[in-house]
Amino acid sequence: MNAQTARLSRSARRLKTVITQQPDLVEAAQKLRYQVFSEEYGSDLGATVPGIDADEFDQFCDHLIVTDESTGELVATTRVLHHSQAVEAGGFYSEGEFELSSLYQLPGTVAELGRTCVHPDYRNGATISLLWASVAEYLVSRNVDYLIGCASIGMSDGGLKAWRIARYLQREFLAGEEYRVTPLRALPHLTHAVSEDRPVDVPALIKAYMRLGARVCGEPCWDPEFRCADLLVVLDVNNLASRYSRHFMRKQAQ
């Protein structure tokens, strides 16, 4: 494919979002998750069905998906576990990684975002913005006050990148004491110094979190199954960055 054809292909994309629990769409999302997390990043998902990333939380979640209407392909997905559904599920997914007692004291409704991924061919601002727009509309419609989620950083280099990003985010975007959590499996500290002088390459999805106004809740957790470091982040829905909230909430005002 030459450059001109590639530009035409990108311009011809018509993306749409939907929030669903429909089994066939959930399975398509699970296949994309497996493709990204296992095949691309080498995570050990413990899949019981080949090619599908599924866990016990999927049945309780609302799944937000982005589809390319020109091809019918599912190109991005995330899932939201509302507090009312978390009660049925026995808790939030992130409780397997962090002690969350402080967040349960927050005055409002908490929901959890998870398993967010984007097809490699669609990792651009338009796709990610559309996904977050769907998330934002969901939060408003379900009266969510706080959104939490695990922001993952790969550890293919042994953890140096993860520590550099974690330290940068803690320095620039640390949440207040009332939001702090403790990792159940702390990320092993490096024996050598982590330089803070060089630029930090923060993953695109984490950048999107921070632009929305999210903050990190403390130290990272080591996730050996996904072979990554996780930072718990929290977003006060009432304090969405203004340039995003005006864009995302426009439909709500109409």
For residue 83, pLDDT beyond 90 = yes
Structure-derived torsion over alpha carbons of residues 16, 154, 43, 219, reported in degrees to the nearest 10: -100
- Strand ranges (E), 72-227: 73-82, 98-99, 110-118, 146-154, 182-183, 215-216, 221-223
Which of 11-20, 83-92, 221-230 is least confident?
11-20
For residue 203, pLDDT beyond 50 = yes
Domain boundaries, the chain: 3-253
For the stretch 5-38, pLDDT in tens is: 333 345 457 999 999 999 999 999 999 999 998 8
Tokens of 87: 């009660």
Amino acid letter for position 194: V
For the stretch 161-199, pLDDT in tens is: 888 899 999 999 999 999 999 999 998 876 555 556 667
Q: Mean pLDDT across the stretch 213-227?
A: 91
Predicted pLDDT at 195: 59
Q: Are the beta carbons of 79 and 63 closer than 8 angstroms?
A: yes
Which of 10-19, 20-29, 83-92, 142-151 is least confident?
10-19
Predicted pLDDT at 242: 52
For residue 240, pLDDT beyond 80 = no
- Rounded mean pLDDT of the chain? 85
Phi, psi of 90 (to 5 degrees): 90, 15
Burial of 82 (0-12, 13-18, 19+ CB in 10 A): buried
Confidence tier at 81 by pLDDT (50, 70, 90): very high
CATH architecture of the domain with residue range 3-253: 3-Layer(aba) Sandwich (3.40)
Between 88 and 50, where is the model more confident?
88
